[in-house]
Amino acid sequence: MGEPLTSTGVRPPGPAGRWLVGNTIDYDRDRMGFLRRCHDEYGDVFSFDEHTIVVRDPDLVHDLFARTNDDFSSESSAVATGFDARRSADDAQVWMSARRSGWRGLNRAAATAHTTRLGALFERTLAEAGDRPVDVLELMKSYSGRAAADFCLGADADGVPEVVAENAAAIEPLSGSSQLFPEWFPSRKIKRFRLARKATLDAITERIHRRRSAPAPDEPRDLLDVLLAARDPELTELQVQRLLRGILLAAYGVPAASMTWLVRTLATRPDLWERVAAESAAWDGEDQPPLSALPQAEAVVKEVLRLWPPTWLMGRTAIRPTSLGRWALEPGDQVMFSPYLLHRDPRWWPDADVLDPDRWLANRTPRKHSYLPFGAGPRVCVGTQLGVVQLTLGAFWLTRGYRVSAPGADRSAPEFHNLLVPKGFRAAFSRA
């Protein structure tokens, strides 16, 4: 691969690629196969092009996460934008300030109330499916969209899941392409994206104004209450908008894909269904069970996230001249890595490709930095713990109250697109 400067004088090795188009065509033809082949040939670090390197070393990935906001940015866009290091740093500060206020202020009562409402949302979503076979990913998008809107907006959530669904659908064909176009480019897809983004921000802004015009509650009922009550520092309307839109979108597709893999796993492994169902039936409390009461369900969730992390490819962009390991990077250079490959690396995981929830019950601590289903560091996925709770309770509700029929589940192969999903997975849900 090429010669641009690094601390060792050359870039990491990598495939030369085709004339004009580089490695884009070969990568898009088989994304995971391309990454595997390159790592097998060139090692844990290789050059994809003159501005992008791909890493598979857990310590390098951890270093990348730890230095996010200082040396690297995690910002991404569905359209091409010129990289602006100062703007990226300013945006990171806005995001982190809003996040800190949000998680600090979200009290236990508000979180508990949300998980209680989740059960009703889960039942409502499955009831709408009836007992006919449905596309499970689309069904779980409906559930996760409602769950995210409830967490963020509580009683003001009506209408928001539909707006967010359109925003996510408008982003998908743009971010799923290796070639990004500028926002001004005359394209129906980009126009749809602009309109959907505006609709989401308008919906959030309307609810901010509505909430501000009403008396403040004694205790926060949802994340919006928390953000509006923040005083150290007080958040601007722009900060609140950005945080809520980011969470609503992040909590739409990723949890839906995770829940789809969880349903597929339980439907195709009767032994695991029986273990989780026995645990669910044993709970006799009136409230939702804590995770400590659901070790079998939590172990299955962790193993599903290990084998099929929805965000299978992540990246960071260098904000300033810096280095990663022995490789020097310039502003705008990208570093990519795949949690999917880290999670299935036999150097870190015994029987890496085997579905084995018992590995989480036997106090077998994973190799440090080798398990990253939600990222790590200062920009770790917002609501990580909430996501694990939602998935674990999903396994609890599913095995406690339903039967799942998915005769073609084994044919739903992994699809490495924007998210890692089981392609074409369909199932029928009926009351037990």
Confidence of residue 3 (pLDDT cuts 50, 70, 90): very low
Scanning 58-212, the segments in alpha helix (DSSP H) are 58-66, 85-105, 108-129, 136-153, 160-175, 188-212
Quote the pLDDT of residue 100.
59
Higher pLDDT, 311 or 285: 311
Q: Which residues are paired to 429 by β-bridges?
A: 404
Q: Is the pLDDT of residue 361 over 60?
A: yes
Buried b (16+ CB within 10 A) or exposed e, 359-377: bbeeeeebeebbbbbbbbb
Q: Is the pLDDT of residue 426 over 70?
A: yes
Confidence of residue 379 (pLDDT cuts 50, 70, 90): very low
Quote the pLDDT of residue 6.
47
Residue 132's contacts (CB-CB under 8 Å, 6 or more residues apart) are 428
Q: Is the pLDDT of residue 273 over 80?
A: yes
Instruction: Please compute, for residue 7, the number of CA atoms within 13 A of its CA located in the half-sphere on the CB side.
Output: 9
Quote the pLDDT of residue 5.
41
Quote the pLDDT of residue 10.
64
What percentage of the chain exceeds 70 in pLDDT? 84
Quote the pLDDT of residue 329.
93
Quote the pLDDT of residue 179.
61
Distances in Å between the Cα of 131 and the Cα atoms of 140, 349, 404, 428, 430 are: 15, 39, 9, 5, 5
Summarize the confidence of residues 225-253 as an average pLDDT: 85
Summarize the confidence of residues 85-94 as an average pLDDT: 56
Q: Which tokens is 409 given?
A: 């589940």
Helix axes 85-105, 237-268, angle to 10 degrees: 70
Q: pTM of the predicted model, to two decimals?
A: 0.89
Residue type, 211: R
Quote the pLDDT of residue 216.
86
Q: Cα–Cα distance between 73 and 91 in angstroms, integer?
A: 9
Quote the pLDDT of residue 102.
55
Quote the pLDDT of residue 132.
94
Quote the pLDDT of residue 309.
96
Q: Is the pLDDT of residue 380 over 50?
A: no
Q: Is the pLDDT of residue 377 over 60?
A: no
Distances in Å between the Cα of 2 and the Cα atoms of 12, 52, 165, 322 are: 9, 11, 42, 19
Distance of CA 171 to the CA centre of its chain: 14
Instruction: Single out the residue of 401, 116, 394, 118 nearest to residue 260, CA to CA.
Output: 394
Summarize the confidence of residues 329-333 as an average pLDDT: 92
Instruction: Single out the residue of 222, 236, 246, 239 nearest to residue 107, CA to CA.
Output: 222
Inter-residue contact 96 to 403 (CB < 8 Å): no
Higher pLDDT, 294 or 229: 294
Q: Is the pLDDT of residue 48 over 60?
A: yes
Confidence of residue 358 (pLDDT cuts 50, 70, 90): very high
By mean pLDDT, which of 16-30, 134-148, 300-314 is the weakest?
16-30
Instruction: Single out the residue of 423, 398, 313 nearest to residue 36, CA to CA.
Output: 313
Higher pLDDT, 389 or 395: 395
Quote the pLDDT of residue 156.
94
Summarize the confidence of residues 64-69 as an average pLDDT: 89
Express each pLDDT in 152-187 by its tens digit: 999 999 999 999 999 999 988 777 655 666 766 778
DSSP calls for 329-360: E-TT-EEEE-HHHHHT-TTTSTTTTS--GGGG
